[in-house]
């Protein structure tokens, strides 16, 4: 079992859950959770062990988020990206090689950003924390954009197979 399969299973990602997770509110509130989590962890200097309460609140929100919003069709940029991610998690062979290569680079960027965040939070150093968060967010936005392309490609191929393409 791959990590993506384990994550999808943990979050109970069936078809309905993917449609709900594609809601732009779901996507953007997950991004909003990043600075909230950083602040919750940083708060250990102000409130000590009580920082576990806001950390737990963010974790619970991230767990509930994929099912917290109504399902949507892939019309918005964010929704198309999540629908593309769903394609990728179900069949990685459907991803063109150039996309796979970029996705690998984005994983490395995301891990690098996460490492900077970790270092910054451990040392209570603002700049590595903020720079790492910026790298993570930018890599994630680029990843969603790539998945949106993947969804469009899959839709074009499905339209070609059905033969109901109205214009070329």
Question: What does pTM read for this prediction?
Answer: 0.84
What does pLDDT average to over the chain? 89
pLDDT digits (tens, 9 = 90+) for 120-132: 999 999 999 999 9
Among residues 136, 137, 118, the alpha carbon closest in space to that of 128 is found at 118
Please report, for residues 50, 85, 108, 126, 136, the alpha-carbon distance to residue 152 in angstroms, rounded to integers and kept in the order given. 46, 12, 25, 39, 24
In this prediction, residue 9 carries a pLDDT of: 61
In this prediction, residue 160 carries a pLDDT of: 74
94-105 average pLDDT score:
87
* Both tokens assigned to 59: 């974790």
Q: Where are the domains of the chain?
A: 3-159
Residue linked to tokens 């062979």: 93
Q: For residue 11, is pLDDT > 60?
A: no
């Amino acid at each position: 079992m791959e990590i993506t399969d384990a994550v999808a299973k943990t979050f109970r990602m069936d078809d309905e859950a993917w449609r709900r997770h594609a809601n732009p509110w779901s996507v953007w509130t997950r991004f909003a959770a990043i600075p909230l989590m950083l602040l919750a962890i940083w708060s250990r200097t102000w409130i000590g062990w009580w920082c576990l309460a806001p950390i737990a609140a963010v974790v619970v929100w991230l767990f509930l988020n994929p099912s917290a919003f109504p399902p949507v069709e892939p019309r918005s940029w964010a929704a198309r990206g999540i629908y593309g991610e769903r394609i990728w998690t179900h069949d990685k062979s459907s991803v063109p090689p150039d996309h796979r290569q970029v996705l690998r680079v984005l994983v490395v960027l995301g891990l690098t950003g996460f490492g900077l965040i970790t270092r910054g939070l451990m040392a209570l150093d603002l700049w590595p924390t903020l720079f790492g968060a910026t790298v993570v967010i930018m890599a994630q936005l680029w990843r969603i954009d790539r998945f949106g392309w993947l969804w469009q490609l899959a839709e074009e191929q499905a339209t070609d197979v059905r033969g109901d393409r109205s214009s070329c």
